[in-house]
């Protein structure tokens, strides 16, 4: 039944609008497009869509059409949908598990009656041989008609503007994973209070990420050549820098961590679009090469949270740490509440949570060992937990830090958030020993003697290589590895025709 309804909607839109855009749900709140490399030129493609389930009863579909187009293509969107091209570039992606997840039910205590559904869609794709890479995108009409800050075209109560989610996959031989998300992207925020939000973006390849605000993307026009999608302007009184209104506060974002600070002055549904640029950094020169660009549509729901004083952090600092590979470090996260609840005996119950790529979890691409976040229990008046992590060589940072975000909520709709930035530096180099003597003992034995190095926890082993003289090109062969730092001599008993 779901597929038949979807087909009817799709054909009706073609007939009345003269476009090839698909309609699978009204009141789309936002979403994202990501991918993961699976090996052997194969990628997992993922789309996430969020829907306003308060103002619309139309369900997210169990499947829909998306596009994979060579980056060298000059075909327009209309041409991609022609009968001769559709089978080449159109693909079907299915709802993971066949079910939609309710990610934010109504919360009367927060003055909010909205709810949000999330659909997670997944497919696999074997990359072709186009030397410029591939553009992956999906488009749908019917943005949320409750949106406050965008200049939308509404006809008969139906929004004519849509949303396009896209990602770029580099060509074969240059494997890449797109930035991944660790949190949902439809945050509820309080009016007239500073709100801090971090979606916990991370890159499984350890690439450096650069964050910026950009204009939201509309449906492709028939003459659109992907990935040049049309954008949507803001209403009068709103702008890219002031998405909550030019009479209020400017939105801010840390370009390195993606942490957003927002303070709306009126309730409403506000679209904010984030661009994430993924740079592959050379570990020696520290120069970066742009690998891909991803856009994420956020819909902030601003509500009245009341005048109750929010909880406070018991420990304040710069929220920035630099640690070494192999260093086990822990710190306490603690908050407290100063306002008693309905019972004179107890304060508010506080709930402390953590999100971040290094915490791992099912399906995580982050390398183990994962960090831990341990709470003794949920307590009245104060709440505390301990964060611990031992980073490995795979976690070394060059420009973009690892981030972990802690959030505390009380029973009066107040939320406070803090994000820690964690930089991981490599182990220091161990200086090479000085060779004291090379002694030839007959025609097959060579004795090496060197001074011992200072004992260092970063020492792993000595590697001894042999070069064969007289060959056209220089080549070295590993003949021995020694794992004790205090070793100072070794005799090669397999040398043939040893020479001084």
pLDDT digits (tens, 9 = 90+) for 185-204: 777 788 888 888 887 788 88
Look up residue 233 and give its DSSP letter.
P
What does the pLDDT average to over 64-73? 95
Task: Give the Cβ contact number of residue 391 at 10 Å.
Answer: 24
CA–CA distances in Å: residue 203 to residues 183, 324, 401, 499: 14, 20, 11, 52
Average confidence score pLDDT of the chain: 82
pLDDT digits (tens, 9 = 90+) for 89-120: 999 999 987 777 777 654 555 655 667 888 89
- Whether the pLDDT of residue 408 is over 90: the answer is no
Tokens 């904010």, residue located? 272
What is the reported pLDDT for 297?
87
Task: Give the Cβ contact number of residue 94 at 10 Å.
Answer: 13
Phi/psi for 14 (5° steps) reads: -60, -40
Residue from 100, 20, 31, 26 nearest 67 by CA? 20
443 vs 269, which has greater pLDDT?
269
Task: Report the length, in residues, of the chain.
Answer: 500
d(CA 107, CA 103): 12
pLDDT digits (tens, 9 = 90+) for 358-384: 898 877 878 889 999 987 654 555 578
What does the pLDDT average to over 167-184? 89
What does the pLDDT average to over 461-490? 82
Start-to-end C-alpha separation, the chain: 86
> Which of 123-127, 187-191, 249-253, 427-431 shows the lowest mean pLDDT across its residues?
427-431
- The radius of gyration of the chain's CA atoms, rounded to the nearest angstrom, is 28
d(CA 489, CA 445): 13
Look up residue 110 and give its DSSP letter.
G
Tokens 């030019």, residue located? 246
Look up residue 392 and give its DSSP letter.
-
Residues of the chain by 3-state class (helix, strand, coil), percent to 5: 5, 45, 50
> Which of 84-98, 227-241, 283-297, 312-326 shows the lowest mean pLDDT across its residues?
312-326
Q: What's the pLDDT band for 15 if we cut at 50, 70, 90?
A: very low
- Whether the pLDDT of residue 1 is over 50: the answer is no
4 vs 218, which has greater pLDDT?
218
- Whether the pLDDT of residue 7 is over 60: the answer is no
CA–CA distances in Å: residue 120 to residues 105, 183, 301, 469: 18, 13, 21, 61
d(CA 187, CA 198): 10
What is the reported pLDDT for 4?
30
* Bridge partners of residue 196, in order along the sequence: 261
d(CA 420, CA 401): 9
Q: What is the Cβ-side half-sphere exposure of residue 316, based on CA atoms within 13 angstroms? A: 4
Look up residue 359 and give its DSSP letter.
G
Cβ contact 234:149 at 8 Å: yes
Cβ contact 305:110 at 8 Å: yes
- Whether the pLDDT of residue 285 is over 50: the answer is yes
- Whether the pLDDT of residue 135 is over 60: the answer is yes
What is the reported pLDDT for 375?
76
Cα 323-328-329 angle, rounded to 5 deg: 65
Cβ contact 62:95 at 8 Å: yes
What is the reported pLDDT for 278?
92
Residue from 493, 489, 492, 434 nearest 465 by CA? 492
What is the reported pLDDT for 111?
57
pLDDT digits (tens, 9 = 90+) for 300-331: 888 887 777 888 888 656 688 899 998 898 98
pLDDT digits (tens, 9 = 90+) for 330-349: 988 888 876 654 444 556 77
For the chain, what percent of residues have pLDDT higher than 90?
A: 34
For the chain, what percent of residues have pLDDT higher than 70?
A: 85
What is the reported pLDDT for 364?
80
Q: What's the pLDDT band for 69 if we cut at 50, 70, 90?
A: very high
Structure-block tokens of residue 355: 């999100």
What is the reported pLDDT for 10?
30
Q: What is the Cβ-side half-sphere exposure of residue 374, based on CA atoms within 13 angstroms? A: 9
213 vs 108, which has greater pLDDT?
213
CA–CA distances in Å: residue 326 to residues 88, 331, 485: 49, 16, 19
What does the pLDDT average to over 439-453? 80
What is the reported pLDDT for 104?
66
> Which of 229-233, 385-389, 430-434, 468-472 shows the lowest mean pLDDT across its residues?
468-472
d(CA 495, CA 443): 7
């Amino acid at each position: 039944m779901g597929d038949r309804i979807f087909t009817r909607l799709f054909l009706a839109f073609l007939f009345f609008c003269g476009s090839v855009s698909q309609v699978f749900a009204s009141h789309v709140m936002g979403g994202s497009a990501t991918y993961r490399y699976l090996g052997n030129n194969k990628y997992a493609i993922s789309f996430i869509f969020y829907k306003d389930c308060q103002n619309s009863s139309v369900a997210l579909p169990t499947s829909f059409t998306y596009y994979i187009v060579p980056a060298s293509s000059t075909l327009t969107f209309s041409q991609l949908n022609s009968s001769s091209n559709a089978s080449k570039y159109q693909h079907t992606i299915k709802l993971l598990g066949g079910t939609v997840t309710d990610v934010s039910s109504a919360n009367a205590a927060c003055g909010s009656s909205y709810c949000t559904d999330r659909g997670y869609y997944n497919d696999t794709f074997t990359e072709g041989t186009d030397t410029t890479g591939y553009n992956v995108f999906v488009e749908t009409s019917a943005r949320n008609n409750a949106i406050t800050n965008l200049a939308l075209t509404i006809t008969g109560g139906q929004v004519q503007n849509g949303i396009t989610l896209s990602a770029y996959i580099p060509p074969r031989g240059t494997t890449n994973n797109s930035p991944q998300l660790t949190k949902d992207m439809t945050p509820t925020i309080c009016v007239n209070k500073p709100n801090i939000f971090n979606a916990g973006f991370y890159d499984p390849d350890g690439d450096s990420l650069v964050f910026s605000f950009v204009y939201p993307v509309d449906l492709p026009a028939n003459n659109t050549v992907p990935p040049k999608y049309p954008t949507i302007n803001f209403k009068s009184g709103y702008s890219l820098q002031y998405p909550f209104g030019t009479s209020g506060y400017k939105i801010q974002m840390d370009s390195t961590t993606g942490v957003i600070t927002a303070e709306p002055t009126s309730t409403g549904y506000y679209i904010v679009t984030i661009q994430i640029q993924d740079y592959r950094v050379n570990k020696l020169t520290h120069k970066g090469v742009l690998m891909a660009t991803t856009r994420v549509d956020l819909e902030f729901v601003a509500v009245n949270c009341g005048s109750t004083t929010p909880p406070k952090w018991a420990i304040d600092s710069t929220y920035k740490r630099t640690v070494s590979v192999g260093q086990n470090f822990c710190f306490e996260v603690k908050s407290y509440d100063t306002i008693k609840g309905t019972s004179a005996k107890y304060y508010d119950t506080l709930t402390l949570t953590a999100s971040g790529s290094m915490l791992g979890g099912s399906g995580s691409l982050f390398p183990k060992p994962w960090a831990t976040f341990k709470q003794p229990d949920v307590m009245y008046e104060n709440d505390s937990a301990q964060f611990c992590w031992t980073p490995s060589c795979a976690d070394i940072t060059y420009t973009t830090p690892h981030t972990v975000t802690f959030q505390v909520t009380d029973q009066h709709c107040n939320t406070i958030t803090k994000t820690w930035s964690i930089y991981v530096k490599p182990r220091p180099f161990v200086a090479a020993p000085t060779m004291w003597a090379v002694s030839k003992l007959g025609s097959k034995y060579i004795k090496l003697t060197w001074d011992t190095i200072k004992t260092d926890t970063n020492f792993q082993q000595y590697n001894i290589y042999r070069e064969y003289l007289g060959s056209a090109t220089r080549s070295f062969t590993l003949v021995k590895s020694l794992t004790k730092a205090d070793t100072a001599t070794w005799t090669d008993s397999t040398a043939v025709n040893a020479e001084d």
